[in-house]
Structure 1
Amino acid sequence: MTQQGVRWTADQVLALAPDAASRKAGGKLGAAGPWSETGTDGGTVWGLCKGSGSKPYQTVVDVTDASRPAYTCGCPSRKFPCKHALGLLLLWVGGDVAEAQGRAPDWAGEWLAARRRRAAERDAADAGGSTPGPGDPEAARRRAARRAERVTAGATELEQRLTDLLRGGLAAAEQAGYGLWEETAARMVDAQAPGLASRVRELGAIPASGPDWPVRLLEECALLHLLDQGWLRRERLPGALAATVRSRVGLPASADGPPVRDHWLVLAQYDVADSRLTTRRIWLYGAESRRTALLLSYGAAGRVPELALPVGLTLDAELSAYPGAGQPRASLGERFAPPAPSAIRPPGVTTAEAAARYGEALRDDPWLDSVPVTLDRVVPAPDGDSWQLADADQDTALPLTPSARSRPGLWRLVALSGGAPVTVFGECGHQGFTPLTAWPRGAGEAVPLH
């Protein structure tokens, strides 16, 4: 946590890396092995990292302002932040840095004192001579304005690069290789727009990825262009949509919605992993509020995310929503009882209603890949070389996504159904439906499919 109460994630840390090599090296240092004398006082993180020399590197990170962290390290690297600062932050967000019982060590405290003295002098100059306190709202507004200027410069540069790509023809993207996209993504990181950087990296994986890759690349370029334009014209957008754009660009946000206490049914839990990060997605359904919410938990450098909730149980707890139009993400607050068995099931819809629900959600968030949906009375059935969920009462169906067709969960679903209708919860999007949990007809426990 920072002093402002905004929880950092491993994704935010890795987005600070100046290049791919730093991300990889920092990820390796996100484990306790090379570190000693680590500590944090909430606004500062420090530690000694063993290097190639006889003396360990003294590394300190000021995380008081999540939008503008500062770093120092005794290593000779000219990259900023260096791999040691990234590794220390990953160690911190993973919960492996203990709260300090006393003052920070002298080598950390001296740097921090000098930095905050300079910051106070700079803010005083900006304010015309008045020195703001650490919680001064005007200073925070100026910091936010400076970051917005950097993001705007990055979005403007990205627009020019997309224009150059389309003017030169999509075939040039295949010839340029991944380096073009990685360099562009690095520029977006410099502009403090990690959301734009992530989408640019995804573009780099599309060329030569299979039949019709130019079509997919053009579609994704169009969505990225739309996000750019949304940011550049955010002042004209409705408040909720502007919040969605800020979130998609990658600006940090807090779960500021009013806490909602409910008995939350754990619908599904699964992990998405890459070389840098493991993201755990947990879907919940409120029995009284009838809301579906998403919890995200992260683990870096091979760590398993800390939060784990068993599918099929209910949790008496409070959730607070994140800002943004149609955003299901929430933050888990106070828990009033441990998870307990429950006979609660979410109400289902038809396959046609599920497709319509996704279409409606795109009006609030055009960059949305899928929406959570519970299908009632559907039967898994082969469709040529593919599979679909056919509505038992209507002549409609939803195709399964390519990833769902290749997982063992499909065969568990087929076995559970046995040709009879079942209730299935999953994610419905432009690629089809991904089943995550199923319930048999009548009474029966939830069966995870992922």
Structure 2
Amino acid sequence: MLLTDGGEPLGAAAPAARWTVEQVLALAPDDASRKAGNKLGSAGPWSDTGRDVSGAVWGLCRGSGSKPYRTVVDTTGPAYKCSCPSRKFPCKHALGLLLLLASDGSALPAGEPPDWAGEWLAGRRARAEVREKAAGSGPADPEAARRRAERRADRIDGGAQELEQRLTDLLRGGLAAAEQSGYGLWDETAARMVDAQAPGLAGRVRELGAIAASGPGWPVRLLEECALLHLLDTAWLGIDRLPQPLAATVRTRVGLAAAAEGPPVRDHWLVLAQYDTPEGKIVTRRIWLYGRDSGRIALLLSFGAAGRSPGQALPVGVTLDAEVTPYGGAGQLRAELGPQFGMPVPTGTPPPGVPVTEAIAAYGRALSDDPWLDSWPVTLRDVIPVPSADGWQLADAEGDAALPVAAGALSRPGLWKLVALSGGRPLTVFGECGHRGFDPLAAWPARSEGGDAGSPDPSSRARPDAVAAAETVPLI
């Protein structure tokens, strides 16, 4: 049940957050689904559409058969149900329905869902209540769970020791052997780590296979990554001597699942960014949140199998009144989204930014807690995208510091959106700062006191709310 701030049920007039076309397309499992969904994003193929205050939308979509497809989406998940035979989630009909909602909300009048949609929605919410109760009841057999954990730890011990021997053999024989053996050596070693139930170690081993073909300077990069892998191995083998937060980080890096730990933090969480990363046979979705009252940054992770979009999705630029429970670990930002109190509210106020030099220092401090950290979330204040000899960089509007834009972001359309949004003027930019550079994920144009987007305001540095009225612009 959705609640207001006071814990009472929402009234019938409670507004739902308006999704944008970009936010809907981010849910698509592949490009083909995006293109097909776009074709169904108008009122033409739809009939008997509607929505209710709980965040559900439904409709009948005309297809090639004699009967239209029944499509219903619970936008609070989001979750999807369609009578079409597609094995993709969401299917093109669910995407089309959400695109219709984003482009023309009047095409989905408010009302009560029909029986076929109402039954699915009721069943989904009943199952959610059962899961919540089960999660609070604890394991059925704690002793059996302890024995399973001990057996898995023994397997990981064996895998870590074997990996140490392989790293030693590599260094003893010389790094040139890595270029000659190609991916075969690393694929075999990664398979051994999977057998040892250490998927974190397996993932890092696979990454080593690509370094030898990464261009000039690869031996240095390979040695650096081998050193980090050796550090993780030795940390696991001596985990009983580590401080508890660092030990939790090592368990996570090795690949052991951890439970979110309390206490929950209730706040007004701004959705900063959402993006998917293919990782083998699964897709990992990362959602960054910023707590306006606590000043905390939180990372939500969800996973989807091949052909399926990860289940959790949140529109970028909205604020949720919700509880978030953090996971353990030194410097870890991962959290689990808990109950939401009310509907998401569109807003654009960015987090308070920092200069480039402070962003670099923040990443350095984070590395002291987690040496295997690739990047750290930061919001840069008053930076201008400018071209450089190697691509692009974000330079302080006043000062001599700059951060190179990460190579992975140079080929994305979001970079040109960032450049166009700036037009040579300072921006506030959120992204991930790491050893590969800065990966921009969202931006806000500077605004003057009158609220004109893009107008330079010399006093903006003294007034963190100078961009309070700006819209969050996703860059990925």
Same fold judged by TM-score > 0.5? yes
Shift of 1:340: 1.1
Q: Which amino acid aligns with 1:297?
A: S
Could you tell me how far apart the structure 2 residues matched to 1:385 and 1:170 are? 28
Could you tell me how far apart the structure 2 residues matched to 1:321 and 1:351 are? 27
Structure 2 unaligned blocks of 5 or more: 1-88, 90-122, 127-138, 448-468
- What is the 5 A alignment of 1:397-436? 397-436=402-441
2:238 maps to which residue?
233
Shift of 1:135: 3.4
1:282 maps to which residue?
287
2:253 maps to which residue?
248
What per-residue deviation string (whole Å, max 9, x for no partner) do you get for residues 392-436 of structure 1? 122111111111122211111111111111100000001110111
Shift of 1:205: 1.6
Task: Determine if the alignment matches structure 1 residue 146 to structure 2 residue 151.
Answer: yes
2:340 maps to which residue?
335
Could you tell me how far apart the structure 1 residues matched to 2:145 and 2:445 are? 53
Could you tell me how far apart the structure 1 residues matched to 2:411 and 2:197 are? 37
Q: Out of 157, 160, 167, which is 2:165 matched to?
A: 160
8 A Cα contact 1:318 1:335, kept in partner: yes
Could you tell me how far apart the structure 2 residues matched to 1:419 and 1:229 are? 48
Shift of 1:273: 2.1
8 A Cα contact 1:313 1:340, kept in partner: yes
Deviation >4 Å, runs of 4+: none
Task: Determine if the alignment matches structure 1 residue 444 to structure 2 residue 470.
Answer: yes
- What is the 5 A alignment of 1:40-439? 135-274=140-279, 276-439=281-444
CA 1:445–1:172 in 2, change beyond 3 Å: closer, same or farther? same
8 A Cα contact 2:348 2:472, kept in partner: no
Shift of 1:282: 0.6
Q: Which amino acid aligns with 1:369?
A: D
What per-residue deviation string (whole Å, max 9, x for no partner) do you get for residues 337-393 of structure 1? 221112432000000000000000000000000000000000111112321111112
What per-residue deviation string (whole Å, max 9, x for no partner) do you get for residues 105-140 of structure 1? xxxxxxxxxxxxxxxxxxxxxxxxxxxxx7343333
Could you tell me how far apart the structure 2 residues matched to 1:142 and 1:385 are? 53
* Aligned alpha-carbon RMSD (Å): 1.9
Could you tell me how far apart the structure 2 residues matched to 1:427 and 1:361 are? 12
8 A Cα contact 1:422 1:439, kept in partner: yes
The DSSP-based 3-state class of the residue aligned with 2:211 is coil
8 A Cα contact 2:190 2:203, kept in partner: yes
Structure 1 unaligned blocks of 5 or more: 1-89, 91-97, 102-133
Could you tell me how far apart the structure 1 residues matched to 2:373 and 2:326 are? 17
8 A Cα contact 1:285 1:293, kept in partner: yes
Q: Which amino acid aligns with 1:149?
A: D
Could you tell me how far apart the structure 2 residues matched to 1:137 and 1:244 are? 23
Could you tell me how far apart the structure 1 residues matched to 2:213 and 2:359 are? 32
The DSSP-based 3-state class of the residue aligned with 1:205 is helix
Shift of 1:275: 5.2
Q: Which amino acid aligns with 1:385?
A: D
Shift of 1:176: 1.3
Could you tell me how far apart the structure 1 residues matched to 2:293 and 2:160 are? 42
Shift of 1:234: 0.9
Identity %: 71
1:72 maps to which residue?
none
So what's the TM-score if we normalise by structure 2?
A: 0.65
Shift of 1:236: 1.3
Could you tell me how far apart the structure 2 residues matched to 1:343 and 1:399 are? 26
Could you tell me how far apart the structure 2 residues matched to 1:143 and 1:447 are? 46
Q: Using CA pairs below 8 Å that are at least 6 residues apart, which structure has the higher relative contact order?
A: 2
Shift of 1:196: 0.5
The DSSP-based 3-state class of the residue aligned with 1:347 is coil
Could you tell me how far apart the structure 2 residues matched to 1:141 and 1:277 are? 28
Shift of 1:179: 1.6
Q: How many residues matched?
A: 322
